[in-house]
Each structure stands twice: as C-alpha cells, then as structure tokens.
C-alpha cells in the first residue's frame, strides 16, 4: 500500500513569494491534516480537511490556506512568505470518520520549506 | 485551552534501564490520547493510544485523569528505542483537531 505522499520534498522561496505544497493521502482516506514542524516547536496544527470541507484550523494567519480536491488530495498555500515560515510541513491522512475513537494518522515525509 | 506538555526535550538512559517519558495535558473534558514515534529517517507513526490499552514494543501508557497525565513507560530500554516521541491529544468531538506536544528525544546509551 502506498503511503501518504508529499511534494515537493524541498522548496526554496524568498520573502513575499507564495508557496504551494501538495499531499496525496492513502487510498480510501478522506481526512487530511496539515502540521508545521518548526525547529524546537514540535508539531503545530495548521488545517484539517475531510470530505472536501475545512473542518478546523489552527492559530495561523489567513495567509495560510488550503483546499481538498474531490480525489481527497490536498494543497497547502502560504502567501506573502515570511522568514519564520521556514519549517517542515507534514501532511497526515486518516481513514476514520472525524471524531471516531479509532482514528489513526498516517504521516507523509514532509516538505521542507526554506524562506530566504 | 487544549494543550499537551512534554517537559523534557531530551531524555538519555542506559540500555536496560527503565524509561518514562512524561506527558501532561490540559483539557476539561474526556480526551483521547496517543503516543507517536519518529525513528531516524522514518516517518512519524502511531505507537499506541490509551483507548486500546495495548503494549507496543514493550511500551505502555496509562491515562491518569486526576493528574491529567499520560506518561509513556518501558521497564527495560533497548537501543532501538532511540527516537523522537510525541504525545498527542484529541477531545471527543466531531470536529476536533489532534494536538501534539513538542516532543521528547529519547537516547539510549549502550
């Protein structure tokens, strides 16, 4: 079974530019989560999509946005990039319905975003 | 506010010694709690969850609602246990995000 795939692996941008990160969940999974892993800060919750809808978002400014497509893949967009946006962005997918007790997240390898 | 605290950034123990990775949470209701692990050059993956009351790779974790803790324990550490460990929480709600702690790096010395 193919795992969660993320692209690109690395992304280098300059301040003010826009970045687009992509995630393909495991086949059959409808939920996609995005997390930011900045150095020393652990995983910070960004966004959660399920069945094409945004279900919840973390404490990030509106320039962080995303969407989920009909095939359940997802995009994370970061506008007006700032230096502190440099981080590893992890995507995770889940098969279970939101709120079910057996939900298990499967993570991708991440996209390392560097803002210069 | 919901919060997960892992007070130790780094924990170093000798092989064969007991291990305890601390996790405290802040949530007024009944949460669902997990431990995730990331081994070197591997993806973050689920280790165990409190609802299953399972032991995985010799690790166990008990939910203590009085102390709002979910510490991860293993009686005898092995070198292959060296990894980054994250405690995570999700409230029982239909639209709840999963919140992670900042992680503890466990290093097992030979």
> What is the tens place of the pLDDT at every residue in B42-64?
999 999 988 777 888 999 998 88
Q: Give pLDDT, residue A62.
A: 96
Confidence of residue A32 (pLDDT cuts 50, 70, 90): very high
Give B93's contacts in chain A (Cβ within 8 Å).
Answer: 99
Cβ of B98 within 8 Å of Cβ of A42? The answer is no
| Residue B66 clears pLDDT 60, i.e. is over it | yes
Minimal Cβ distance to B45: which of A35, A43, A107? A107
| B85-102: average pLDDT | 82
Q: Give pLDDT, residue A111.
A: 98
Query: What's the whole-number average pLDDT of chain B?
Result: 90
Give tens-digit pLDDT for A67-113. 999 999 999 999 999 999 999 999 999 886 655 656 788 999 999 99
Mutate to test the interface with A, among B9, B32, B44 (most CBs of A within 10 A): B44
| Residue A55 clears pLDDT 60, i.e. is over it | yes
Confidence of residue A1 (pLDDT cuts 50, 70, 90): low
Minimal Cβ distance to A98: which of B9, B43, B95? B95
| B102-106: average pLDDT | 95
| Residue A66 clears pLDDT 90, i.e. is over it | yes
Mutate to test the interface with B, among A42, A60, A99 (most CBs of B within 10 A): A42
| Residue A13 clears pLDDT 80, i.e. is over it | yes
Give A3's contacts in chain B (Cβ within 8 Å).
Answer: 43
Cβ of A102 within 8 Å of Cβ of B51? The answer is yes
Residues of B with a Cβ under 8 Å from any A Cβ are 6, 9, 32, 36, 43-46, 49, 51, 86, 90, 92-103
Let me know: does B96 contact A94? Beta carbons within 8 Å: no
- Which two structure tokens, joined as six digits, stand for B55? 């032991």
Cβ of A33 within 8 Å of Cβ of B97? The answer is yes
* CA neighbours closer than 13 Å in the CB half-sphere of residue A69: 9
SS3 B81: helix
Minimal Cβ distance to B44: which of A45, A90, A98? A90
CA torsion sign, A16 to A116 to A11 to A29? negative
Q: Give pLDDT, residue B90.
A: 86
Label residues A18-48 b or e (16+ Cβ within 10 Å = b): ebebbbbbbeebbbbbbbbbeeeebbbbbbb
Q: Which residues pair with A67 in a beta bridge?
A: A75
Q: Give pLDDT, residue B95.
A: 59
Q: Give pLDDT, residue A47.
A: 94
Q: Give pLDDT, residue B80.
A: 96
Q: Give pLDDT, residue B94.
A: 53
Cis preceding-peptide flag for B22 (omega within 30 of 0):
no
Number of continuous H segments (helices) and E segments (strands) in chain B: 0, 11
């Amino acid at each position: 079974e193919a795992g969660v795939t993320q692209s690109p692996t690395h992304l280098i941008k300059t301040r003010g530019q826009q970045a687009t990160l992509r995630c393909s969940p495991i086949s059959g999974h409808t939920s996609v989560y995005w997390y930011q892993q900045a150095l020393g800060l652990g995983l910070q919750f960004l966004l959660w999509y399920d069945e094409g809808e945004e279900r919840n978002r973390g404490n990030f400014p509106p320039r962080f946005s995303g969407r989920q497509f009909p095939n359940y893949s997802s995009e994370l967009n970061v506008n007006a990039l700032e230096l502190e946006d440099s981080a590893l962005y992890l995507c995770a997918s889940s098969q279970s319905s939101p709120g079910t007790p057996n939900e298990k997240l499967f993570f991708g390898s991440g996209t390392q975003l560097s803002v210069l | 506010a919901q919060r997960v605290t892992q007070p130790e950034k780094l924990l170093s123990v000798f092989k064969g010694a007991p291990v305890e990775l601390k996790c405290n949470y802040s949530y007024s209701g009944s949460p669902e709690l997990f431990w995730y692990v990331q081994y070197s050059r591997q993806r973050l993956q689920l280790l165990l969850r409190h609802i299953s009351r399972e032991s995985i790779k010799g690790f166990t974790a008990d939910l203590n609602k009085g102390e709002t803790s979910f510490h991860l324990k293993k009686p005898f550490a092995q070198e292959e246990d060296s990894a980054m460990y994250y405690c995570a929480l999700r409230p029982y709600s239909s639209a709840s995000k999963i919140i992670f702690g900042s992680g503890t790096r466990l290093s097992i010395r030979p």
